[in-house]
Amino acid sequence: MKEKDGYTDCPQQQVILYVEKEDGKYGPIQTGSYLTRNFLDDYELKKKHLEVSLRKKIQDKEVSPIYYYMVLEDLTLSELAARVKLRKAKVRKHLEYRSYDSIKSEILKQYTDVFNVSVDDLNQLMNHPSEKEE
């Protein structure tokens, strides 16, 4: 990439690129992030839509708050099971709406530690799943 092609106006996130300078040598330049400038708003909009659709699934009693956070954190079933130190079959059961109330408080605490949320945050999704879109 030529030096003139490497510059992006994005003061929120700066990056270092190695480009071909005017004298033909390669070296670093500081510039804005192309991805942040062009795609961050799309990502945030898609994430908001994902949150709304997952809350609707909880409201419709299709999934539990564990599933909600697993998807938002982009974890697989295997990854989540390893982090909470449970069998995959047990975690799979906890993803179901009807099983959520039977999760022991110690295990619920393991999930909250992985998701970095409080037990109240998990329970709030069950009690008030239809929060309005902003």
Q: Who wins on pLDDT, 134 or 2?
A: 2
The reported pTM is: 0.72
In the predicted model, is pLDDT for residue 134 greater than 50? no
Q: Give me the pLDDT at residue 39, please.
A: 83
User: Which segment, 10-14, 18-22, 116-120, is predicted with the most confidence on average?
Assistant: 116-120
Pairing, β 14-20 against β 26-32: antiparallel
Q: What CATH number was assigned to the domain covering residues 46-127?
A: 1.10.260.40
Which of 44, 66, 73, 52 lies closest to 111, judged by CA?
66
Looking at the chain, which residues constitute the CATH 1.10.260.40 domain(s)? Answer: 46-127
Three-state SS across 87-125? Answer: CHHHHHHHCCHHHHHHCCHHHHHHHHHHHCCCHHHHHHH
In angstroms, the CA 132 to CA 134 distance is 6
